């Protein structure tokens, strides 16, 4: 199914039938769930496996979805000139940045990001010493996620640069992966007891606040500098739709924080909090990507990619251990 969608999308992109804006956004968001899930796994192993246990199978399944990204990315490789201004020779860039954004070098880096992530994920889920692998894996995944954010997202505005963007974007992907894992876990018939989710609730709250502050800090730095080259990225997103999207993201974040802050934990509050975290993630990603145009074919291909990813994720998740023995132990 995924391969058929990739072939159809590649044909559409190559022939110029449609722009693949929605498909590309789906690719980046699915990559974020996979890499964010892998980062979540390794952080959990390094800190304390017991708090990770309720969502470990979900995080492992998400991390193991990375090879599918190569299939979804096939059509996008044929349509770089529709997605990135530098791929069609505009605008004029400094020689070093133009060389870095050479299409062949860009595609090689993208394959390397997915390949390294896949290797670390497979190594982590098969090892008997996940703590040691997590230390090595985080040292590999951190620059991978940072440079992937620069290449896959920031380079859509090649004349704009922010050293904080890579960290902020990577943090958002970990937050989204955590929220999705919690929501899936709690919607299962055999979900973990709420008291076993207390540490995850605190982790979700911390990630929400940290992501909010990091993105605000980036905006504050740009606002204080007030340089035309730096404010252009935000000015391009000052239209009513973009402002509405960022308002939705901020409100969803604040409501989620208000729901999660009170002491104690319940299944209902965690479901609401994690769902709101995913709402803010979707709205924020739309704000960041600011897609130029979508077609019904593009939306259909994006939806097919998401469905293929979700179906394979479900199959893999059901094959993973439940880690009930870890959940039964006190941290």
**Burial class, 30, CB count within 10 angstroms (exposed 0-12 / middle 13-18 / buried 19+):** buried
Residue 152 contacts residue 28 (beta carbons within 8 Å): yes
With tokens 């058929």, the residue in question is 4
Mean pLDDT of 160-177: 93
Could you read off the pLDDT of 61-83 as tens digits, one per residue? 999 999 999 999 998 998 898 89
CB atoms closer than 10 angstroms to residue 308: 21
Best-predicted range by mean pLDDT among 9-13, 177-181, 194-198, 324-328?
A: 177-181
Interior/surface letters 319-331, b for 16+ CB within 10 angstroms, e for the rest: eeeebeebbeeee
CA dihedral of residues 188, 189, 195, 196 (deg, nearest 10): -60
Name the residue ranges covered by the structural domains of the chain. 2-328
* Cβ(297)–Cβ(203) below 8 Å: no
pLDDT tens digits along 120-150: 999 999 998 999 999 999 999 999 999 999 9
Q: The tokens of 250 are what?
A: 């901020």
pLDDT of residue 182: 93
Confidence of residue 95 (pLDDT cuts 50, 70, 90): confident
Q: What is the mean pLDDT of residues 50-63?
A: 90
DSSP 144-189: HHHHHHHHHTGGGSTT---TTHHHHHHHHHHHHHHHHHHHHHHHST
For 99, the 3-state DSSP assignment is helix
CB-side exposure of 279: number of CA atoms within 13 Å? 16
CA pair distance 137, 127, nearest whole angstrom: 12
Q: Which two tokens stand for residue 83?
A: 């997605």
Q: Quick check: 222 pLDDT over 70?
A: yes
Residue 270 pLDDT exceeds 60: yes
Q: Are 252 and 277 in contact (CB under 8 A)?
A: yes
Higher pLDDT, 92 or 107: 107
């Amino acid at each position: 199914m995924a391969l058929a969608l990739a072939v159809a999308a590649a044909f559409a992109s190559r022939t110029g039938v449609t722009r693949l804006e929605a498909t590309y956004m789906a690719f980046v968001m699915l990559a974020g769930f996979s890499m964010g899930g892998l980062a979540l796994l390794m952080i959990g192993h390094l800190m304390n496996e017991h708090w990770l246990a309720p969502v470990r199978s979900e995080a492992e399944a998400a991390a193991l979805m990375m090879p599918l990204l190569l299939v979804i990315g096939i059509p996008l490789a044929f349509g770089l000139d529709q997605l990135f201004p530098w791929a069609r020779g505009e605008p004029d860039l400094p020689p070093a940045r133009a060389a870095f954004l050479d299409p062949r070098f860009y595609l090689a880096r993208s394959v390397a990001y997915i390949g390294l992530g896949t290797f670390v994920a497979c190594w982590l889920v098969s090892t008997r010493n996940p703590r040691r692998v997590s230390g090595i894996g985080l040292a590999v995944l951190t620059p991978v996620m940072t440079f992937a954010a620069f290449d896959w997202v920031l380079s859509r505005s090649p004349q704009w640069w922010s050293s904080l963007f890579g960290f902020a974007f990577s943090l958002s992907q970990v937050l989204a992966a955590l929220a999705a894992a919690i929501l899936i876990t709690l919607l299962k018939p055999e979900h973990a007891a709420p008291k076993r989710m207390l540490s995850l609730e605190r982790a979700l709250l911390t990630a929400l606040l940290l992501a909010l502050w990091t993105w605000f800090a980036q905006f504050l730095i740009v606002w204080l500098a007030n340089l035309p080259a730096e404010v252009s990225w935000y000015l391009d997103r000052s239209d009513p739709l973009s402002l509405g999207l960022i308002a939705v993201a901020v409100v969803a974040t604040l409501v989620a924080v208000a729901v999660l802050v009170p002491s104690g934990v319940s299944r209902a509050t965690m479901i609401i909090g994690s769902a709101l975290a995913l709402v803010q993630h979707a709205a924020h990603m739309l704000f960041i990507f600011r897609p130029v145009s979508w077609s019904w074919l593009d939306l259909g291909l994006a939806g097919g990619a998401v469905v293929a990813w979700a179906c394979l994720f479900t199959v893999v998740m059901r094959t993973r251990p439940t880690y009930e023995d870890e959940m039964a132990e006190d941290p």
